[in-house]
Structure 1
Amino acid sequence: MPCSAAMPRDAPAPPFRHQRADGAFELGFAPSPRGTVLRHLFQQAPLRVLFPNPEPGEPPTAALLNCAGGLAGGDALRQSVRLEPGARATLCTAAAEKLYRSLGPETRIGTHLSLGAGAVLEWLPQEAILFDGARMARRMQVDLAEGARLLAVEMLVFGRAAAGERMRTGSVLDSWRLRGPGGLLWADALAFDDPEAALAAPFGFGGAEAMAMLLLAAPEAEAMRDLLREAGAAATLPRPGLLLARWLGGASAVRRAAGAAIAAVRGAALGLPPRLPRLWTT
Structure 2
Amino acid sequence: MARGALSCQVPCVHGIIGHQRSAGRLELSWGAKGLRGLYQQAPLRALFPHPDTDEPATAALVNVAGGLAGGDSLDSEITLGAGSRLTITTPAAEKVYRTLGPATRIGATVRVGAGARLEWLPQEVILFDNAHLERRQDFSLAEGAELLLAEMLVFGRSARGEVFRQGQVLDTWRLRGPDGLLWADALAMGAVELADPFRFGAAQAMATVLLAMPGAEAHLPVLREIGAATVPRAGLLLGRALGEVGAVRDFVARAVVGLRAAAFGLPGVLPRLWRC
Q: Same fold (TM over 0.5)?
A: yes
Structure 1 residue 50, shift from structure 2 partner: 0.8
Which contiguous aligned blocks of 4+ residues in structure 1 show a shift greater than 6 angstroms? none
Q: Counterparts of 1:190-269 in structure 2 under 5 Å?
A: 190-192=187-189, 194-195=190-191, 197-231=192-226, 233-269=227-263
Does residue 278 of structure 1 match 2:275? no
1:211-239, Cα deviation, whole Å (9 max, x unpaired): 010011012421222221122x1101111
Residues 224 and 204 of structure 1: CA distance in aligned 2, closer, same or farther (over 3 Å): farther
Aligned to 1:88: 85
Q: Counterparts of 1:1-282 in structure 2 under 5 Å?
A: 14-32=15-33, 37-192=34-189, 194-195=190-191, 197-231=192-226, 233-282=227-276
Structure 1 residue 203, shift from structure 2 partner: 2.8
2:221 and 2:213 map into 1 onto residues whose CA distance is 14
Letter in 1 for 2:257: A
2:29 and 2:58 map into 1 onto residues whose CA distance is 12
2:212 and 2:272 map into 1 onto residues whose CA distance is 23
Structure 1 residue 124, shift from structure 2 partner: 0.3
In structure 2, stretches of 5+ residues that fail to align are: 1-13
TM-score between the two structures when normalised by the length of structure 2: 0.93
Letter in 2 for 1:201: D
1:220·1:269 contact (CA, 8 Å) conserved in 2?
no
TM-score between the two structures when normalised by the length of structure 1: 0.91
1:136-190, Cα deviation, whole Å (9 max, x unpaired): 0000000100100000111000000001011111110000011111111111000
1:237-264, Cα deviation, whole Å (9 max, x unpaired): 1111001101111112211110111000
Letter in 2 for 1:279: L
2:215·2:234 contact (CA, 8 Å) conserved in 1?
no
Aligned length: 263
Percent of residue pairs identical? 59
1:14 and 1:244 map into 2 onto residues whose CA distance is 51
Aligned to 1:9: none
The DSSP-based 3-state class of the residue aligned with 2:206 is strand
